[in-house]
Amino acid sequence: MDSALVAAGERRIGWAARSMPVLTAIGERFAAERPLDGLRIAACLHVTAETAVLMGTLKAGGAEIALAASNPLSTQDDVAAALGEYGVGVHARAGVDRETYYRHIHQALDISPDVVLDDGCDLVNILHTERTELLERVSGGCEETTTGIIRLRQMAAERALRFPVVAVNDTRTKRMFDNRYGTGQSTIDGIMRATNTLLAGKTVVVAGFGYCGRGVAERARGLGARVVITEIDPVKALDASLHGYDVQPMTGAARAGDVFITVTGNRDVIRGEHLAAMKDGAILANAGHFDVEIDVRALDELAQAVHRGVRPNTDEYVLADGRRLLLLAEGRLVNLTAAEGHPAAVMDMSFSAQALAVAWLARERAGLAPGVYDVPQEVDVEVARLKLAAAGIEVDTLTAEQEKYLHSWRLGS
């Protein structure tokens, strides 16, 4: 093993851990109580410094872990090297092709897991289609992201899902902070690192006004951009409009935008007809889980020439009339490819919920039927309470009279 790479990974993990006090406290508790003793975990997560802190927490709790990446471009190789030295089975390398990416997931599954952790549902999908011989042993799972939850709910509706899965994404402490502030900041960070563009005065088109899209829109507006939202959900579109954003279909937005950011979780959001209408120099970035939101094949077909790597993570597509469109990170998650993903302070909450959900599963799994489960409410509240305590923030508590008032229907005006 390259010792310089390991040392760089260790430094990076140590730096992340400084901003993860809640997960660190849970790790200390796990080390004393060993709630995961004997548990084998296969995880498919972005291999980042923050994930490494989660792996350390689960190991402290007694788990044996195999880890594969949940995206071919998001792996931090120095972190992967350091994690290997800690005794986690890591199957991940930055920039691998599709085939190697899936081979790595199979290798992680070779541990024959009791519990699986997924980010996007690729590992659960492979378990249910290609590695069904392992299903008998698997007694639970956790899913980290919106896209994965959508796929799991569909599996559950079709009665295809064979074990209980906890929807970590749906906790308030994940969705409100990770999706909004984490995706918001890291997406803008990725675009800036890739292009060094000035956002002030630019028109930024954000496709999708879910928690993530809202976060991206808020950060772009904060930097002085004019923000246009495209949506298919009338309620979200109305919400965006009442936030003061310009709301338009992509057809109009395509002509107006300087920067396009897709955050919908759906495919073909930016298609050939939109690409053909864009301005010279338009920047295209995706912050949705899969690389399906921008039709890269249509872009290839429109282009007369492609200049790869005009800057790191930036490819320039030259159209017949000379206009240049700039595709970031090959249309994959820009925040984890061109930047470092969500900041550790945000992942502290998401991964604390994840660690506590694994401990909950380890306790309860024998009594749970297959299906998608919410993280128990007390986990959410505990994560928030620990995060506030770490920041030295105190909050009010209900008086006895207030408690009584909340629980009575007889008291009125």
Binding site for ligand ADE (CB under 6 A): 45-46, 48, 50-51, 182, 336, 341-342, 347
Flag whether 266 is marked binding.
Answer: yes
Report which DSSP code applies to 399. Answer: -
Please check if 147 is assigned to a binding site. Answer: yes
> Can you tell me the distance from the alpha carbon of 94 to that of 47, in angstroms, rounded to the nearest whole number?
9
Give 66 or 134: the residue with its C-beta nearer to ligand ADE: 66
> How many CA atoms are closer than 13 Å to the CA of 187, on its beta-carbon side?
33
> Annotation-wise, does 264 bind a ligand?
no
Asked if residue 310 lies in contact with residue 285, where contact means CB atoms within 8 angstroms, the answer is no
Residue nearest to ligand ADE (CB): 341
Q: Please report how close the Cβ of residue 120 comes to ligand ADE at its closest, in angstroms.
A: 10
Shortest distance, position 172 Cβ to ligand ADE, whole Å: 17
Measured in degrees and rounded to the nearest 5, phi and psi for residue 77 equal -60, -35
Q: Name the one residue in this structure whose structure tokens are 């595709």.
A: 327
180 labelled ligand-binding: no
- Residue 144 CB, shortest distance to ligand ADE, in Å, is 7
Q: Are 346 and 355 in contact (CB under 8 A)?
A: no
262 is in an annotated binding site: no
Nearest by Cα to 34 from 349, 354, 373, 363: 363
Candidates 262, 314, 243, 353; CA nearest to 20 is: 353
Min CB(160)–ligand ADE separation in Å: 26
> In terms of CB distance, is 283 or 346 closer to ligand ADE?
346
> In terms of CB distance, is 51 or 147 closer to ligand ADE?
51
Nearer to ligand ADE, 35 or 120 (CB): 120
Minimum distance between the CB of residue 70 and ligand ADE, rounded to whole angstroms? Answer: 8
- 48 vs 230, beta carbon nearer ligand ADE: 48
**Rg of the chain in Å (alpha carbons):** 22
Considering the complex, what minimum distance in angstroms separates the CB of residue 67 from ligand ADE? 11
Q: Name which of 45 and 359 has its Cβ closer to ligand ADE.
A: 45
In this structure, which amino acid lies at residue 401?
E
132 is in an annotated binding site: no
Is 58 within 8 Å of 65 (Cβ atoms)?
Answer: yes
The answer to whether 145 is annotated as binding is yes
Burial classification of residue 362, based on how many CB atoms lie within 10 Å of its CB (0-12 exposed, 13-18 middle, 19 or more buried): buried
Q: Any binding-site annotation on 78? A: no
DSSP 8-state assignment for residue 202: -
Which residue in 117, 83, 82, 78 sits closest to 94, CA to CA? 78
Closest distance to ligand ADE from the beta carbon of 342 (Å):
4
Phi/psi for 15 (5° steps) reads: -65, -45
Judge whether 95 is annotated as a binding position: no
**Measured from the CB of residue 368, what is the shortest distance to ligand ADE in angstroms?**
25
- 178 CB-side CA count, 13 A: 23
Burial of 298 (0-12, 13-18, 19+ CB in 10 A): middle
The answer to whether 243 is annotated as binding is no
* Residue closer to ligand ADE (CB basis): 10 or 50: 50
C-beta of 36 vs 339, nearer to ligand ADE: 339
For the annotated binding site, the residues are 48, 119, 144-147, 174, 178-179, 208-215, 231, 266, 287-289, 335, 342
For the annotated binding site for NAD(+), the residues are 145-147, 179, 208-215, 231, 266, 287-289, 335, 342
For the annotated binding site for substrate, the residues are 48, 119, 144, 174, 178
